[in-house]
Amino acid sequence: MKWLVEIVGLTVRFPLMSRFMARLKGRDFHEIDAVADVSLTIRPGETYALVGESGSGKSTLARAVNGLVEPTPESSIVFNGRDVAAMSPANFKAYRRQMAMVFQDPVGSLSPRMTVGDQLAEPFVAHGLRDRDLKAECGRLLDMVGLPPDFAGRYPHELSGGQARRVGVARALALDPKLVIADEPTAGLDVSIQGEVLNLLNELQERFGLTLLIITHNLHIVRHVADRTAIMYLGRIVEEGPTDRIFSAPRHHYTRALLSAAPEPDPDAVRTRIELKGEVPSLARRPDGCEFHTRCPKAQDVCATERPEETTDGERRYRCFFPVLHEESG
């Protein structure tokens, strides 16, 4: 099988307010596209990074893959050869076992009233696997993420941020998933331990052949951990390609600005920074044409009226009328 995940034309639409409230307030019924017509493919065993600022739709995309939000009927998500969107709920549950999510807030995603052991046993209970030796499974999972077995009796408030994160990873791995979706795996962690979590994910990936979908805004870590990277802006993928190519020769001006924005920990660094004006526009007022034209340093008239189609260039694709030129790509 070539792809583990194959997404075509994925759109996730949220109503700004319900039809009823809109009528009550005498306003038009409005919907926003949090994810707009996204297509992407993830190979088995690779690490794929989704990068974007808040409101770019990266978490919504992951949630749609995971079945936590419903995409529009035209969208297609094929996971492991089967169309997830077309599945009945019962079928979906069985499929759902093959993907797991590590949530953003390490402590907040654990129940404060359950012990670590109980939380690690929950996936088995939820999927009707009570007959397994839950205690042994729990020990196995803790061992896998490098925590001592006595952690099973602890409550989340007794854990440090890094330990809570490990428990989150252990819980995600409980049912031997094929795909692990990690939403901001290093958010809220100190620099000295964020590597721990990434190394752990990487190690588990090698051991079990996992496929990783990492969602983050931290470009510094993406460069080290991801095989391929997609940059999202206002719900759309503006550029995608092999990570090293994205970093060495970005084609989209947004990618380029993002790369130059990350503050470098060197007081003498020469900063050739492309500073973007203003902020990400509201999804409710999606700009016409290329969504990025309102902030793009190289925008021209056509960018404000026409939406650029996707350009494919080898393993890379991007949406821009006037892509960044690089000598080597001549």
Decide if residue 278 touches other proteins (CB under 8 A): yes
Looking at residues 51 to 90 of the shown chain, list those that interact with other proteins (rule: CB under 8 A). 53-54
| Nearest CB to other proteins, comparing residues 54 and 305 | 54
Q: Where are the alpha helices (DSSP H) in the chain?
A: 19-24, 58-65, 89-96, 116-126, 134-144, 161-172, 191-208, 219-225, 243-248, 253-261, 301-305
> Of the candidates 259, 251, 260, which has an alpha carbon nearest to the alpha carbon of residue 320?
251
Residues 192, 207, 284, 328: which binds other proteins (CB under 8 A)?
A: 192
According to the binding rule CB under 8 A, does residue 220 interact with other proteins?
A: yes
Place of tokens 């079990």: 208
Q: How far is the CB of 252 from other proteins (least distance, A)?
A: 14
Q: What share of the chain is helix, strand, coil (3-state, %, to 5)?
A: 35, 20, 45
Residue of 9, 45, 195, 289 interacting with other proteins (CB under 8 A)? 195
Closest to other proteins by CB, 41 vs 202, is 202
Q: Which is nearer to other proteins, 129 or 261 (CB)?
A: 261
Identify which of residues 85 and 189 has a Cβ nearer to other proteins in the complex.
189
Applying CB under 8 A, among 105, 196, 286, 311 the residue interacting with other proteins is: 196
Give the chain's count of helices (H) and strands (E). 11, 12
The DSSP bridge pattern shows strands 236-242 and 228-233 to be antiparallel
- Of 319, 321, 320, the C-alpha closest to 39 is 319
* Residue 142 contacts residue 115 (beta carbons within 8 Å): no
**262 lies in the site for other proteins, by CB under 8 A:** yes
- Could you say which of 267, 272, 314, 330 contacts other proteins (CB under 8 A)? 267
> What mask, x for binding other proteins by CB under 8 A, covers residues 4 to 43?
----------------------------------------
Q: Does 225 bind other proteins (CB under 8 A)?
A: yes
Please name the residues in contact with 291: beta carbons below 8 A apart, sequence gap of 6 or more.
Answer: 233, 234, 236, 281, 307
The answer to whether 268 contacts other proteins (rule: CB under 8 A) is: yes
Query: Which position among 223, 286, 298, 307 is part of the footprint of other proteins (CB under 8 A)?
Result: 223
65, amino acid identity: V
Taking residue 314's Cβ as centre, other Cβ atoms within 10 Å add up to: 9
Q: Which of 1, 136, 191, 284 binds other proteins (CB under 8 A)?
A: 191
